Amino acid sequence: MLKAEVLVDRDFAIGDTDRRLFGAFVEHLGRCVYGGLFEPGHPQADERGFRRDVMALVKELAPTIMRYPGGNFVSGYDWEDGVGPVENRPKRLDLAWFTTEPNTFGTNEFMDWCRETGIEPMLAVNLGTRGADAARHYLEYCNHPGGTALSDLRRSHGWEQPHGVKFWCLGNEMDGPWQMETKTATEYGRIATETAKMMKWVDPSIELAVCGSSARNMPTFGEWEYTVLDHTFDHVEFISLHTYFNNYAGDTAAFLASPDLMDSFIDEVVAIADAVAARRRSNKRIMLNFDEWNVWYRTRGRGEGRAKPGWPEAPQILEEVYTMEDALTFGGACISLLNHADRVKSACLAQLVNAIAPIMTETGGPAWRQTIFHPFAQMSNLGRGRVLRSQVSSPTYSARYYDPRGSQELYYPMPSVPYVKLATVHNEEDKSLTLFVLNRHLEEQVTLDLDARGFSDLALDHALELRHDDLQTANTKAAPEAVSPVPLDGVQVRGERIQATLKPASWNVIRLKAPV
C-alpha cells in the first residue's frame, strides 16, 4: 500500500479564507435562470416565480456571493431592459448564446432572490457594447438611496431601499474574439479605468474587479494582465481569472492532475500583479477574483454545441452531465483555491443551475444534485477558517494534460504529480480542523499519515468519502443519489496524529474537533 506523510503546524498558515471564496455564478444562459432558479407556474414556485426546491438545494450548497448577469451575456446587456413593469420589458436577441432574451427576470428579481437565499450579490457591467456612462447609471440605480432620477426610478419600480451592491465586475473576457466588441489590453485598460473612476465617484464604498485574460492558454495571457493592471492599478481591488478543466484526451490520470495547473495559474497572476505594484513601489496588493471555474468540455463547442437554431428562449444548452471522475477533478480545484487563500479572496463556480452546474432541474419537474455538488458544499460549509501550510510527501506520477486553444494542439507536461492533494483548514471559532484530501491513484489505496503539530487533543467529529467503482457514473433524475458522500471508516486519531486509508480515486473530508 502506498503511503503519504503530511506535516501541518497550527502556527504556519497560508491565510484566512474570505467568505467570498465560496461563490457561484448566474448568467442568462440556457436554463440557468428560466426553468432553473426562476420558473413561474412550477409546482414548487413561490409567488415571485422562484423555485423553492432549487432554493433549498442552493442553501445546502451554501454559496456566499453570486455573480450576475454574465458572463458573455453581459457584453451586450442593457440593464434598463430588465427593470420596471415586466409587461413593458423588451425581448432582445442575445448574441452571446444566440437566444431570445425575454427580460422577465432582471436586476431587482435577482436582488430579491439573493436576499431570500442569504447570498451577497456581485454585479457585472457591460463594457462591450456600452461603457462608463451606462455603468455609473446602473450603480446609481442600484445603490443611491433616493432623490435622483435613477434612484427614484428604482423606488418607483417597488424597491424603496437601495440594494447596496458592494462588488462589481468591469466587463467579462474582453480579450476573447467570441466577446461582443472585443478589445485590446490598452483599449480595455483605458475604458476600465474611466469606468472605475466614475463608479467610485458615485459610491466610494464599492470594490471592483478588472478582467484578466480569458484563460491561461490565451495568446494574450500575461501581457494582457500587466497592461490592464498598469492602467487600472490605482482604481481596482481585484483581477479576474477563468479556467475550465477538460478530459478531451480521455486521459483520466492527466485530468485529475489538471488542478495543479490552476495552482501555477494563480501564482503567475499574483507575480504579474505584484510586478505592477513593484514598478510603482506600492504596498498595495491586487487580490484575485477567480470568478469562473469548473469542469466543462462535453458541451463546449463539441457534441451538442453551444447554440440552437431559431433564436429560442432558454434552450437546453451547455447542460453538462457530471460524473464521478469530474467530481474528483473538481475537488482538486477546491483544494487549489483553499491553498491560495492569501490572494484568492473571491471565486465563483460557473454556473449554478442547469448550465455547467452543480444543480440540475427538469422544467416543470424535480431538481437534483450533480456529482460536483458534494465537494463544493463540503468546501463551503467546512472550509471557513485559517488554511494551514501542508508539507505533503506523496508518491508521484507523470502526466501530459491536453488543453487546446482553437485548432492548436496544446499539451502541458506534468512530470511529478503527487497522488495525494490536500488542504487543511483550522477554524478557531468552532474549534475544528478539517482535511480535504484527494487520492488520484486510480488503482491503489493510500495510507495518509498526518502530523498536526500544535493540536494536542484532536478527536474525530466525522469523516466522509465520495467515490464510485465506475468513474463514469453520474447522478440523474432516475438515480439522483448514485454518487453521494458515505462514511469514511477506519480513521484513527492519536494525539496530534491522524491516519486514514484513502481508497483509489476518492475525494475525502475528515472533520476533527480541535479544542486546544
CB 210 within 8 A of CB 228: yes
Distance between CA atoms of residues 286 and 209, nearest Å: 9
Task: Give how far the C-alpha of residue 9 lies from the chain's centroid of Cα atoms, to the nearest Å.
Answer: 29
User: Strands 486-487, 167-170: parallel, antiparallel or unpaired by DSSP?
Assistant: unpaired
Instruction: Give the residue ranges of DSSP H helices in 281-342.
Output: 324-338
Distance between CA atoms of residues 509 and 355, nearest Å: 27
Q: Rounded to the nearest 5°, which phi and psi values hold at 42?
A: -70, 145
The question of whether 173 is a catalytic residue gets the answer yes
Distance between CA atoms of residues 494 and 498, nearest Å: 7
**Which element (helix H / strand E) includes 293?**
strand 287-295
Out of 27, 292, 320, 325, pick the active-site residue: 292
Distance between CA atoms of residues 159 and 157, nearest Å: 6
Distance between CA atoms of residues 2 and 296, nearest Å: 31
Q: What does the CA dihedral 250, 254, 258, 263 come to, rounded to 10 degrees?
A: -170
What letter represents residue 105's amino acid?
Answer: F
Distance between CA atoms of residues 217 and 406, nearest Å: 10
The question of whether 292 is a catalytic residue gets the answer yes
Out of 39, 101, 109, 173, pick the active-site residue: 173
Which residue carries 463546449 as its cell?
300
Nearest in space to 372 (alpha carbons), one of 325, 336, 337, 340: 325
CB 333 within 8 A of CB 122: no
User: Strands 386-393, 2-16: parallel, antiparallel or unpaired by DSSP?
Assistant: antiparallel
CB 82 within 8 A of CB 68: no
Contacts within 8 Å (CB) and 24+ apart, 407-410:
410/217
Phi-psi region of 364 (alpha: psi -120 to 50; beta: other; left: phi over 0): left
User: Strands 432-439, 492-494: parallel, antiparallel or unpaired by DSSP?
Assistant: unpaired
Distance between CA atoms of residues 425 and 434, nearest Å: 5
CA angle 162, 168, 171 (to 5 degrees): 130
Nearest in space to 442 (alpha carbons), one of 415, 472, 404: 472
Nearest in space to 227 (alpha carbons), one of 293, 180, 279: 279
Distance between CA atoms of residues 258 and 372, nearest Å: 16
Half-sphere exposure of residue 179, counting CA atoms within 13 Å on the CB side?
Answer: 24
Which residue carries 431538481 as its cell?
367
**Which element (helix H / strand E) includes 415?**
strand 411-418
The three-class DSSP label of residue 361 is: strand
Q: Which residues are catalytic?
A: 173, 292
